[in-house]
Amino acid sequence: MKPWSAPTILLAAAALAAAAPSAFADSSGKWKSSQETYDKVCAYCHEANVGPVLTGRKLPPEYVRAIVRSGNRAMPAFRPTEIDDEILAGVAKLIATSTAK
Ligand code: HEC
């Protein structure tokens, strides 16, 4: 995998921080659906050449959940207060069963 340049990562982090108040959850503090979470959080990097493409790779759901909870280098970790277990399980399933775009 190609190394992520510091400027790219800083830009992405800054952009995500700016988007965060509206990006994380609705007024009830919960995501409506796993699809919405993927579209608003994961796609922000993973469909924008900041993170590797996730769809169509049959990534195991356990792997996706582990990376999301613990993070990995430039990949930020998300706490259960940000993405709860139920929504995350749905996101992982969605990625695992997705086809390449
Ligand atoms: C701020 C940008 C950003 C966001 C938001 C983000 N990721 Fe990532 N993700 C990355 C980057 C960058 C990597 C590559 C990390 C590395 O290998 O250095 C990565 C790696 C991953 C990997 C490992 C991919 C592989 O090829 O092994 C998975 C799985 C993953 N992310 C899932 C998710 C999911 C699910 C979400 C949404 C809940 C998400 N990410 C949100 C930036 C992001």
CA of 28 to the centre of ligand 1 (A): 26
Residue 89 annotated among the catalytic residues of the structure: no
User: Is 66 annotated as catalytic?
Assistant: no
Residue 8: which residues within 8 A CB-CB, separation 6 or more?
50
Ligand 1 atom closest to 13 (CA): 1
Catalytic option among 23, 75, 89, 96 = 75
Name residue 76's amino acid: P
The pLDDT value recorded for residue 24 is 55
Check if the beta carbon of residue 91 is closer than 8 Å to that of residue 83: yes
Q: How far apart are CA 91 and CA 6, in angstroms?
A: 27
Q: Is pTM beyond 0.85 here?
A: no
Sorted by where each starts, the structural domains of the chain and their CATH numbers stand as 31-101 (1.10.760.10)
DSSP H helical segments within the chain, as ranges? 6-23, 34-37, 43-46, 61-70, 85-96
Give average pLDDT by consecutive 10-residue segment, the chain, 101 residues. 60 53 58 96 97 97 98 97 97 96 75
